[in-house]
């Protein structure tokens, strides 16, 4: 990891495990469960208990837990368990990303990623 900026967020009502993707809900961090969530990045290695503080790298390189096969360079978004999966365009939707994989991965691997939050917006046909 090469974090440049780490921000601490208050966790919501549920604990957050380390390396899982989190979203912003009213200024708090909660486990992300969809690619359309307002993603803020992956929780630091320690995660956080309910109501505790969770560290999220906002700039630089960080680490995330994979939710399936990922190739180096893939844009990353969240699956229903808060794990990283390859982001793919969805017609008529905005898919949010946390950055780009810097390693190949299989399910449950922890891999480095380049923090680059953004969106993949695809117009409806």
Distance CA 38, CA 119 (A): 10
pTM of the complete model: 0.94
pLDDT at 19: 98
From residue 87, give the alpha-carbon distance in Å to each of 11, 51, 53, 68, 96. Answer: 25, 29, 27, 12, 8
pLDDT at 24: 95
pLDDT at 78: 98
pLDDT at 123: 85
pLDDT at 124: 80
Query: Low-confidence residues of the chain, pLDDT below 50?
Result: none
């Amino acid at each position: 990891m090469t974090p440049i900026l780490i921000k601490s967020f208050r966790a919501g009502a549920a604990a957050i495990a380390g390396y899982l993707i989190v979203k912003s809900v009213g200024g708090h961090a909660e486990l992300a469960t969809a690619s359309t969530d307002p993603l803020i990045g992956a929780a630091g290695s320690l995660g956080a208990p309910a109501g505790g503080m969770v560290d999220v790298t906002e700039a630089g390189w960080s680490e995330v837990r994979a939710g399936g096969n990922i190739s180096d360079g893939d844009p990353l978004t969240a699956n229903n368990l808060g794990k990283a999966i390859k982001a793919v365009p969805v017609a008529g939707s905005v898919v949010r990303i946390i950055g780009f994989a810097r390693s190949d991965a299989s399910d449950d691997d922890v891999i480095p990623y380049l923090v680059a939050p953004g969106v993949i917006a695809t117009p409806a046909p």
